[in-house]
Every structure is written in C-alpha cells, then in structure tokens.
Amino acid sequence: MATSTSTRPPGIGRVASFYLIRKFKNNYLRVYECLKARFGCLCTVYLPHLRYLVFHPDDIKHCLRDNFENYAKGDDYRELQPLFGDGLVTSDGKIWHEQRRQLASHFQHSQLRQYQGIFVRRTRDMLDRWTANGTQSELRDVTADFADHAFVIAGDAFFGTEFGNDAFTMRQALATVLHEATQRMVNLCNFPLHLPTPANRRYLRAVREIDRVVFEAIDRRLKSGIAQADLLSALLNGSTAEGTRCTSRLVRDQLVTFMIAGHETSGLSLAWTLGVLSHRQDIQDNVAQEVRDVLGGNEPSFESLARLTYTKMVIQEILRLYPPAPVISRCTLSDMSLRGCKIEAGSTVTFPVGVTHRDPERWDSPAEFRPERFDPHVASGRQPFAFMPFGVGARSCIGETFAYHEMLTVIAMVCQRYSIEAVGDALPDAFPKIMLHPTSPILVTVRRRNESG
C-alpha cells in the first residue's frame, strides 16, 4: 500500500464530472455510490477540483488512523471556518492537539456521570409535554422534537445555566448558519463571504448573533466566579501546555463547535430510530422488553446504560444505515500512495462513510435493518472499519460516549412510556446535506403504554 508510483486511480475526467455537478447537488452520496460501483474502491472525480474517493475499510484505516498526521481538515471544512474558528472540528496542528488533549479529560466517565442527570431530566420534561392534554395518543413530528431536545441537552451540558433568555435566539441563528454553510458546501463554487450577497449577509449576521450570545455567556460566568460542571467552566479553567489560559475567542470557538457537532447529530439519529421502530413492531417490542428487564420502571442510571445491550445494537444499526455525518474529508499534507496510486500533497481525499456502510461487499443484505449484526456475543465476520459513524483514529468523535448515553437514555425513556406507531407506509428517504436528513419530517403516533407495559 505504501509503494511509490505515479499511476492515477480510475475515475471520470473534468468534462464528464461537470455534468455530474447537478446530480451532486441533488444527492452527493448517490453520485459517490455510482462512482464506486463503476470504478471500484479508489477513484477520482472533479468537483470542481480533483477529489480522491476512498471506500475500502483497510484504506480508510490506513489514511485516518495509521497515517492521520499526513492529513489536515482541508478545503471542505473551509465554509465552516467563520463559524467554528479554531474549534476542535476545524483546527489542525498544535492548537488541535492541545485542545483535544485538554477536552478528552472532560469527556471521561466522571463527567459523563454528571451529564446523565441532564439527559434524564430533560427527557422527562419532553415526555411530560407529549399527550399533555390527557389523550392516549398523539401525532408527533419527531424530527422537530428531537432536534429541539438535543439542542436543550447540549445547551445544559455545555453552557450550564448561562443561556438564559437567549436560547431561542441561539437556536434560530445556529439553524441559519447551518443552512447557509450547507448551501455553500454543495454549491462547490461561491461568492467570497466578504461580498454582500443576501446569503452572505444572512450567514454573517447569524454568526454575529451567535458571537454575541456566546461572549455574553462567557462574561457572565467569569463575573460570577462560580465554576459549574459544564464545558464552559472546563474551558475557562483549562490551560494550554504553556500553562496559559484559553482566550475568550478560543472558548467561544469550542462552545460553538460543540453546540453544533453535539446536537444535530444525535437529534437526527434519535428521529431515525423512532421512525424505524414505528415500522418494526418486532424490534420495538424487543427494546421495550429489555428496558423493562433492565430498568424495571426506574429512570436510566449511568450504570444501567451498559446493560441496555440490545437497545445499543438498534442504535448502531441506525447509525450504519443513517450515519448523521455521511462523509469525512481531508487534505493530504505530503505525497502519499494508496493501492499503488500516487496521491499528491494538497489533494482532497473524501471518505464516503455512508456508501461504505451500505457496501454489499462488506454487509449481507445491506439495506435491511438487522440489529443482530452488532450483537457483541456473536462473531459477526464484519470487517473492522466498515462501520465508522464516529470517524476513525485520532480525529474521531470526542462525543461518541456522550452521544450513546444520550441516545440510550432517550430511547429507553420513550419506550417505557409510549409505544410508537407508524404514520404512512414508509419512512422518508435520506437526503445528505452536511448531515443526513430525512426528505420530509418523520411523523409517528405515540401511544401511552398501560401500567403493565
């Protein structure tokens, strides 16, 4: 794999690629899937610049884990820079290294135990609002419900009580910037942000609004002088290798990064989970049974989550079929070779996770929903690195355990109180933006379970 050669991988040239741009805007994952079917597990396309597509699990491991230092985040993340600044998702090199080291300790067990209280309390609040008018059942748009829910949880976990009355403003502004950044990423060619087009102005106005809310929250916390068990205090109290405190700007960058990376992803996964469970009564019954066996009517504690093994398998199968982040991208820092082909320094390399997760060469009947694939007691024969919803290697998701705990808690508490019924014959299709969204809201009917379950 590491031999030097000048062969270019197969792929389509500039002119043919030009005709793909419209299809790319409609659904880039489908374009990647077609290219893989035609050219195999390493190929190239011009979108509008040369891009290498890497699909094979061994190659993904080689690039993202074994040689991660040879890659930077690169151009695909540039559109997020005004928003994320030097936050963990977009930074590279020394800043990233120091911040990752400092923040890793914040996401260890002792802190996650504290977050469990937030997951439970906020989920209880949400469920109390369902069927609050005393009816037995109700139609819910779970895409909207869980987007709000994950946002509220992230707000509590990262900002503590500092959001105050600005939560709504923040929510709106984050939705605007994500929408505009997504448009810019799929447009492939954009007006520079400093030009005052209506879209640029909307984007920058929303970034300024976010900045105002976040800097005010930082100020309030600094003035109060009282540390809380949240990310904001961890960032303010943490120090760099030189022993200096993070600047307010860097604290702001991390908080905005975590708010965005930490709520849309789990909100979407929860919505897909409920959508799928509404169509698969058999699997929903299994989850409800496990929740009864493990929790016996109590709310989930930090310790009990590890025993919800089947529920976790269901969530993993959701993340395989509907990975919230369906593509990972990098820029090479020096020449490298893969499968006997040379990839020059400065190239964009894309890892279409969403395609590898449904690759028939790696998975039996890949389109089928089968949680048993993730049974930890069964040797599945699954190829390592064929499943990577949280990325791979040093830059994989720092919030993975947080996300599993949050999702397990929510699904368990929903299934304790409600059975979920399908609305319509099928789930909406998945549509990739920066994240994998349903093409229309996921609707379900929630019906109160009787006392005996």
Cα–Cα distances (Å) from 417 to 191, 197, 298, 301, 370, in that order, read 50, 49, 11, 17, 24
Sites of contact with ligand HEM (CB under 6 A)? 88-89, 100, 257-258, 261-262, 265-266, 269, 324-325, 328, 389-391, 395-399, 402-403
Residue with the shortest CB distance to ligand HEM: 399
| In the complex, minimum distance from the CB of residue 197 to ligand HEM, in angstroms, rounded to a whole number | 28
| In the complex, minimum distance from the CB of residue 389 to ligand HEM, in angstroms, rounded to a whole number | 4
Tokens of 82: 């005004």
Here the contacts of 100-104 (C-beta below 8 Å, separation 24 or greater) are 100/394, 100/398, 102/238, 102/239, 102/240, 103/234, 103/238, 103/254, 103/398, 104/398
Q: Which is nearer to ligand HEM, 52 or 258 (CB)?
A: 258
Query: Half-sphere exposure of 421 toward its Cβ, with a 13 Å CA cutoff?
Result: 9
| In the complex, minimum distance from the CB of residue 193 to ligand HEM, in angstroms, rounded to a whole number | 22
| In the complex, minimum distance from the CB of residue 7 to ligand HEM, in angstroms, rounded to a whole number | 27
| In the complex, minimum distance from the CB of residue 391 to ligand HEM, in angstroms, rounded to a whole number | 3
| In the complex, minimum distance from the CB of residue 127 to ligand HEM, in angstroms, rounded to a whole number | 20
Q: Which is nearer to ligand HEM, 24 or 387 (CB)?
A: 387
Asked if residue 300 has a cis previous peptide bond (ω within 30° of 0), the answer is no
Look at strands 50-54 and 348-351 and give their pairing. Answer: parallel
| In the complex, minimum distance from the CB of residue 325 to ligand HEM, in angstroms, rounded to a whole number | 4
Q: Which is nearer to ligand HEM, 269 or 284 (CB)?
A: 269
Q: Which is nearer to ligand HEM, 170 or 328 (CB)?
A: 328
Q: Which is nearer to ligand HEM, 371 or 419 (CB)?
A: 371
CB 351 within 8 A of CB 64: yes
Q: Which is nearer to ligand HEM, 100 or 447 (CB)?
A: 100
Rg (Cα) of the chain, in Å, rounded?
22
Q: Which is nearer to ligand HEM, 207 or 271 (CB)?
A: 271
**What is the DSSP secondary structure assignment for residue 371, as one 8-state letter?**
G
Angle at CA of residue 48, ends 47 and 53, nearest 5°:
30
Of 150, 167, 179, nearest to 258 by C-alpha is 150
